[in-house]
Amino acid sequence: MSEDRATDMVARIARAMVEHPEEVSASVGEDRGEPCVDLYVAETDRGQVIGRGGRGAHALRTLLRAATGPRSAGGLGLRVVD
């Protein structure tokens, strides 16, 4: 799966999780020299995406890893930004 499609997938899932879907966007960035998806959400929705104990973010990372492969093999990571 291409980076653009993976980014679109993460943004679509995040829009279903938040109260302000119009403020969700995603782009490919870099985290510690590794490619990652930067997921931008409204400040009030950040907790919804991260979830209790980080479960929401972990689930998004799992889906991203399934779509692109592990980071060690060139897959994408995820970073939630407000």
pLDDT of residue 3: 86
pLDDT of residue 73: 77
What share of the chain has pLDDT > 70, as a percent? 100
**Nearest one of 5, 26, 30, 2 to 14, comparing CA atoms:** 26
| 47 contacts: CB under 8 Å, gap ≥ 6 | none
Which CATH architecture best describes the domain 3-81? 2-Layer Sandwich (3.30)
- Residue 5's Cβ-side half-sphere holds a number of Cα atoms within 13 Å equal to 7
Helix spans in the chain (H): 3-17, 46-50, 55-68
pLDDT digits (tens, 9 = 90+) for 28-65: 998 888 889 999 999 999 999 999 999 999 999 999 99
